[in-house]
Amino acid sequence: MNRLLGLAIAASAFAIGLAASPSQAQSVLDEIKQRGELRVAGVLYRPLISRRPNGEYVGMDVEVMKRLASDLGVKLNVVNSEWATAVAGIESKKWDIVPALCITDKRKEVVDFSESYITIGATLTIAANNAKGLTSLQAFDRPEVVFAVPGGSWSESVAKEVAPKATIKAFGQSTSADLIQEVIAGRADAVVLDTPIQTTVALAAFGDKIRVFPGHNQPLDVRACKVGYAYMKGDQKMATYLEGFTKKLRDSGQLAALVKQFMTADQIKATD
C-alpha cells in the first residue's frame, strides 16, 4: 500500500511538473503580447537614445523600438535605467530589451543579442596636408608619428595597439576638437576618433582640413563596438522574431534611412 501511495505521489508531482513547464519556458515575446507593452531600457547614448528635459526619449533606437512595438501590436514603454544595471535588468525582467549595447563575449554569457545593426569603431584622423605619408596603417607605426590622446583613455589604448612604435602625446581634460586642433597646427599627427559618431562631428566642424583613415564609416578592425539589442538568454522565439524584424527593417531601407537621419552633427550634439 505504501509503495502504491508513493508511486501515486510521484506521478502527481510529475504531472504538476509537466503542467508548469510551458509557463516556465514561455518566451518573453509571449509575455510582451500578454501585457500589451514592450519595455525597453532607457540607457543613454546619443544619437541612438537620449532623453529630453521633459522626460521623453528620442533617438535612432527609440524609432526602431517604436516600429518593433507597432509590429507586435503593443505600446512602447522606455524605462529609466543606467548602464551599470542594464544587463541585470533583463535577467530580473525589469525590461525586455536593452538597446545601444556593445556585443561582447562577457555579456553573451548572461544575455543573447540580435545581429549588430551598427558598428562603432576606431579611426585615425590626420591633417589633410600631413606630409608624413600616412596612407597605410603601417605608416602610422613609426616613432616620428605623434598621437594626441586623452591620457588613460580608450583612444590611447587604440593608438598603442595599432601603432606601438608611435609617440604618444597625452593630455588631461581635452575634447576631440582640442586634439584635432593639435593635428591641424602640426603639433601632432593623428587623433583616434570613434566612427560614425565623433567623425561626423569632426567632419562637420573641420571639413577638408582633416582626413579620416581608413575612412568615415570605415572603422579599423580593433576594439570595435558592434551594437545590438540584448534580450533574455536562451529565448529562441525572441531570437527568431528579432532576426526577422531586423531583416525586414534592413531590406526595406528603413534602417539605412534612420542611420542617415540620426547620424548627423546636429543630432549628436543636440542637448534638448
pLDDT of residue 21: 39
Mean pLDDT for the stretch of residues 35-63: 94
Say yes or no: do domains 25-118+224-269 and 120-213 share a fold: yes
**Is residue 202 scored above 90 in pLDDT?**
yes
Residue range 233-254: mean pLDDT, rounded: 97
Task: Calculate mean pLDDT across residues 34-52.
Answer: 94
In this prediction, residues 183-194 reach a mean pLDDT of 96
Please give the average per-residue pLDDT across 199-221, as a whole number. 94
Pick the CATH number of 25-118+224-269 from 3.20.20.70, 3.40.190.10, 3.10.20.30, 3.10.580.10: 3.40.190.10
pLDDT value, residue 25: 66
Domain ranges of the chain: 25-118+224-269, 120-213
Q: Is the pLDDT of residue 82 over 50?
A: yes
Q: Which of 25-34, 121-130, 139-148, 217-226 has the lowest mean pLDDT?
A: 217-226
Average pLDDT for residues 80-90, to the nearest whole number? 92
pLDDT at 269: 79
Higher pLDDT, 7 or 122: 122
Q: How far is 129 from 209, CA to CA, in rounded Å?
A: 8
What is the predicted pLDDT for the residue at 10?
46
Per-residue pLDDT at 34 exceeds 80: yes
Q: Is the model's pLDDT at 138 over the cut of 70?
A: yes
As a whole number of angstroms, the distance between CA 64 and CA 60 comes to: 6
The pLDDT value given to residue 46? 87
Distance CA 228, CA 87 (A): 13
On the question of pLDDT at 35 being above 90, the answer is: yes
Does 159 score more than 50 pLDDT?
A: yes
The reported pLDDT for the residue numbered 247 is 95
Rounded CA separation 65/69 (Å): 6
Q: Is 105 left (phi over 0), alpha (psi -120 to 50) or beta?
A: alpha
Choose which CATH entry (2.40.110.10, 3.90.110.10, 3.40.190.10, 3.40.1410.10) describes domain 120-213.
Answer: 3.40.190.10
- Gyration radius (Cα) of the chain, Å: 24
Sign of CA dihedral 92, 107, 242, 246: positive
